Structure formats: structure tokens, C-alpha cells
């Protein structure tokens, strides 16, 4: 169980679910308008929830996996909505709404004991920027993976995917920029907290691996843009490596000594 204000998270889920249905069956202008209003309403409600949680815990709600999932949903929707408005892809809003919903609902299925304690090593000015920048990166790259799956479907139907892949490049470059910031911020923080900027802690190792995988993808795209089948698959599945770095790592034997294994 969370707190009384989890009602705001519930409101988000309801509004987004209805919005999702409306974006899929977008028959008229009115329905389109309603779906946008509901999406934004859900977003604001989630924001209220996060702020209240922050105040209630008296620390940034970024320590546990569940807390990072909240931010993930938050940025995923924000990015999805901006992309949808900017490039006018209606399917895009549905996809990001769906993914954002999945991550909020996960918090209901796996409720956490929220604790106000924050170990001294986490009490740093780097804590908030490090986590936020990473969640933005994960959200962009999650979105790029959606584009990958969309391209996978289009490709199997024999439709051209060049435009989708070019669009994916924009998102990957944005995500990779934030991923780099997260990595370097983490290193600068580690030097202040633990005495060294890089110790190949399991989380660091997997963060490096996911960074490298996107680096490989970007170089391949640049060098051999015509190898579309390869790119589509890699774009869609690179995100899995990222998910390992984010929470899959908690289940790996190598990670049991990590300073990053969240409670």
C-alpha cells in the first residue's frame, strides 16, 4: 500500500486508459480533442502524485525501482506527446500512453514498502540530475524501440521503412545524448562519494554495455544505412539490454555486490 494520495496515480491510470482507447479509435475531431485532454489530465495528475510523494518522503522519490518507474512513465508520456504534436504521428501517442501505463501498473502489481530513509552516499547534489537524465534517456530509447517494432511490422508487410528509421535516428541521438550525460554524471558523482569514478560495479558494467550497444547501432546506421532489416531488429531489441541495466541486473548473480541494487 502506498499513501492516500495514490488516488492521483489512479486518476492518471484511468484518464490514460480512456485516452488510449480514444487514440486507437480516433473517429472524429472531438474524440481526438478529448483524448488529448485526457492524456494531459493524466499527466498532470501523475505530476501531482510525484510531488506529493516527494513531500511525504522528504527525499527525492528516486531511490527504489518503483520510484524510478514513476519518472519513466512521466518522461515517456512527455516525450511521446511532444513527438506526437511535433511530427503529427497519432499512433505515437497511443504507443507511449500504452508503455507509460504498463510501467505505472507494474507499480501496482509490485507494491513497495516506501521508506523515508536515504543512505548518506545517496545524499548528493548529483542524485537528482543523475536519475532524471537517465530516466529521460530511457524514455527516449524506449520510444526508439517502439519505432523499431513499428518498423518491424511495416517491414514484414513489405512497406518502406526508411522514413521511420530516419525518425528513429532523431530519437536515438537524443536518447544517446542523455545516456552519455547520465553515465558521466554518475562517474563524477562516484568520485565524490566512493573515491573513484569508475569501478566496474555491475551496474556500471551494464550501463556501459547499453551505452556501447547504442554506439554500435549509431555507427552501423551511419556507415551502412541501406541495411534496414539489421537496423530495425537492432533498434527494437537494443532496449532489452537497457532494461537489463535498469532492473534486470537485480536478478543477475554478478550484481549481488552492486551499490546500485535497489531495495
Partner 1 sequence: MTKNSKRKIWHHPWGYPEGSLIAFGLLLTGFLLDFSTGQAFPKPPFPWNVSLFMLLISVLIVAHLNKKSSPFIRWLSSVPAAISALVLFTFISVLMGLVPQKNMGVPSPSNLLDSWAYFFSYIYLLVVLGLSSLKRIWPLEKRNAAYLLNHLGLWLALAAAGLGAGDIQQYNMFLTEGKTTWYGYQGKNETIELPFALRLNDFTLENYPAKIALVDPKTKAILRSAGKPALTDLPLDKLKTIKGFEILATDYLDFAVIDSLSNFIPLIDTGAVQAARLTVNGAVRGWVSPGNFRFPMRIVPISDTLAIAMLKPEAKRYASDVTVFLPDQQQYPELIEVNKPIEVEGWKIYQSDYDERFGRWSRHSILEIVRDPWLPLVYVGFYMMIIGAILLIFQGKKTK
What residues line the site for partner 1 (CB under 8 A)?
1, 113, 115-121, 123-124, 169-170, 173-174, 176-178, 180-181, 184, 187-188, 191-198, 200, 202, 205-206, 208-209, 212-213, 215-216, 218-220, 222-223, 225, 249, 252-254, 256-257
Please state, in angstroms and rounded to a whole number, the distance separating the CA atoms of residues 51 and 185.
24
Of 33 and 209, nearer to partner 1 (C-beta) is 209
Of 84 and 176, nearer to partner 1 (C-beta) is 176
> Shortest gap between Cβ of 81 and partner 1 (angstroms)?
18
Please state, in angstroms and rounded to a whole number, the distance separating the CA atoms of residues 153 and 87.
20
> Shortest gap between Cβ of 83 and partner 1 (angstroms)?
13
Of 128 and 254, nearer to partner 1 (C-beta) is 254
> Shortest gap between Cβ of 260 and partner 1 (angstroms)?
12
Of 16 and 178, nearer to partner 1 (C-beta) is 178
Of 5 and 98, nearer to partner 1 (C-beta) is 5
Of 88 and 116, nearer to partner 1 (C-beta) is 116
- The grid cell for 115 is 521508506
Contact 103, 80 (CB under 8 A): no
> Shortest gap between Cβ of 2 and partner 1 (angstroms)?
12
Q: Is 75 helix (H, G, I), strand (E, B) or coil?
A: helix
> Shortest gap between Cβ of 256 and partner 1 (angstroms)?
7
C-alpha distances (whole Å) from 95 to each of 91, 192, 242 are 6, 39, 19
Contact 91, 167 (CB under 8 A): no
Please state, in angstroms and rounded to a whole number, the distance separating the CA atoms of residues 53 and 116.
10
State the DSSP code for 248.
G
Contact 96, 5 (CB under 8 A): no
Please state, in angstroms and rounded to a whole number, the distance separating the CA atoms of residues 18 and 139.
22
> Shortest gap between Cβ of 248 and partner 1 (angstroms)?
10
> Shortest gap between Cβ of 44 and partner 1 (angstroms)?
26
Of 30 and 226, nearer to partner 1 (C-beta) is 226
* Burial class, 107, CB count within 10 angstroms (exposed 0-12 / middle 13-18 / buried 19+): buried
Count CB atoms within 10 A of the CB of residue 145.
23
Amino acid at each position: 500500500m502506498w499513501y492516500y494520495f495514490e488516488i492521483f496515480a489512479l486518476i492518471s491510470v484511468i484518464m490514460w486508459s480512456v485516452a488510449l482507447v480514444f487514440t486507437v479509435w480516433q473517429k472524429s475531431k472531438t474524440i481526438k480533442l478529448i483524448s488529448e485532454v485526457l492524456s494531459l489530465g493524466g499527466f498532470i495528475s501523475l505530476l501531482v502524485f510525484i510531488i506529493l510523494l516527494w513531500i511525504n518522503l522528504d527525499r527525492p522519490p528516486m531511490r527504489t525501482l518503483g520510484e524510478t518507474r514513476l519518472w519513466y512513465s512521466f518522461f515517456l508520456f512527455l516525450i511521446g506527446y511532444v513527438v506526437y504534436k511535433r511530427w503529427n504521428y497519432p499512433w505515437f501517442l497511443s504507443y507511449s500512453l500504452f508503455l507509460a501505463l504498463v510501467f505505472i501498473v507494474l507499480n501496482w502489481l509490485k507494491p513497495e514498502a516506501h521508506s523515508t530513509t536515504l543512505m548518506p552516499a545517496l545524499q548528493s547534489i548529483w542524485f537528482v540530475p543523475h536519475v532524471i537524465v537517465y530516466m529521460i534517456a530511457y524514455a527516449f530509447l524506449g520510444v526508439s524501440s517502439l519505432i523499431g517494432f513499428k518498423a518491424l511490422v511495416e517491414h514484414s508487410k513489405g512497406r518502406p521503412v526508411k522514413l521511420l528509421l530516419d525518425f528513429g535516428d532523431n530519437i536515438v541521438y537524443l536518447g544517446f545524448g542523455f545516456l552519455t550525460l547520465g553515465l558521466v554524471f554518475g562517474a563524477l558523482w562516484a568520485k565524490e562519494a566512493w573515491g573513484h569514478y569508475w569501478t566496474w560495479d555491475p551496474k556500471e558494467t551494464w550501463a556501459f554495455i547499453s551505452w556501447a550497444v547504442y554506439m554500435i547501432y549509431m555507427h552501423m546506421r551511419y556507415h551502412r544505412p541501406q541495411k534496414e532489416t539489421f537496423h530495425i531488429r537492432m533498434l527494437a531489441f537494443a532496449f532489452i539490454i537497457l532494461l537489463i541495466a535498469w532492473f534486470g541486473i537485480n536478478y543477475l548473480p554478478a550484481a549481488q555486490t552492486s551499490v546500485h541494487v535497489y531495495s
